Homo-oligomer: A and B are copies of this chain.
Amino acid sequence: MSRRTEYLEAAADRVMIQDMLARYAWEIDHGTPEGFAAVFSEDGIFEVVALKLRVEGSQDIIAFAKDLQRTMPNLHHVMSNFVINISGDRASGRCELNEFMALPDAIYPNVQGWYEDEYVFDGERWRIQHRRNFFAPSAAGAVGPLAEYSAAFMEACAKYQHA
């Protein structure tokens, strides 16, 4: 494979991984828990490092997405600044995350952080093998007027937390 072809293919892989990550945001913000889980591989892992939260496998990812959509509605996950490294049918990547929550009185920036990911291509499409969510140091969890909206989510998280 020529160097030029490699360049085109690596660029195309980056596009398709970002398309998949966009589906991740759409499913959790406006879609279904099942659609959200389908963005991960069957044995996919989702972690929120600051909360010691770890969810593994489609069934648990579906349960977690239900809890998140129930306790934190009206979220927008704005992902930006995608850095992706391709290695055949595997890839690693990271992107910054800015979450916004639309409440009746205003729209609040409620999380500032980033994701560190592993992806896998299954012959048809890219999926998330492992996604880890990190919070910025001074924005770990909800702050100010958002704290009360996070209480139910934090409670729901307990069952996914590990020491």
Contacts and interface: CB of A to CB of B under 8 A. Distances in A.
Number of copies of this chain in the oligomer? 3
A94 interface: yes
Interface stretch (A51-59, A98-106, A152-160): A98-106
Chain A interface size band reads 35 or more
B105 A100 contact: no
A159 B9 CA distance: 44
Contact of A112 (B25, B94, B107, B137): B107
A132 interface: no
A72 interface: no
Contacts of A87: none
Interface stretch (A40-48, A63-71, A73-81): A73-81
Interface of A: 4, 7-9, 11-16, 18-19, 21-23, 25-26, 29-30, 74, 76-84, 94-96, 98, 100, 102-112, 114, 136-139, 143-144
